[in-house]
Amino acid sequence: SVVFNRDLSISMIRLEEPIDLGQSVRTFIVRGTSPDGQTTEIVRGTTVGYARLERFASRRITQISVSLTAIGDVPRIGIKLYA
């Protein structure tokens, strides 16, 4: 989980994995915590590959978490958030 020091408005997330090391993410779930403390699922999916963009309705969050299931090695993943 990542906790932000202020509310953020986001509408897209980019997940990346170093595909030259092999694909390791099988599934993912992204959850966000709103300013009032409620945690909800934002998006879920399968495989990330080089990069995966997921768009969703804009929402304000104070915290984000990404849960992964992996194939083989522990996955290395990059996360970028967009307004």
pTM for this predicted structure = 0.89
CA pair distance 20, 41, nearest whole angstrom? 30
The SS3 assignment for 39 reads: strand
**Residue 25, number of CB atoms within 10 A of its CB:** 21
User: What pLDDT is stored for residue 37 in this prediction?
Assistant: 96
CA pair distance 70, 59, nearest whole angstrom? 28
Which amino acid appears at position 14 of this protein? R
| Digit-coded pLDDT (tens) for 13-41 | 999 999 888 888 989 999 999 999 999 99
CA pair distance 13, 83, nearest whole angstrom? 9
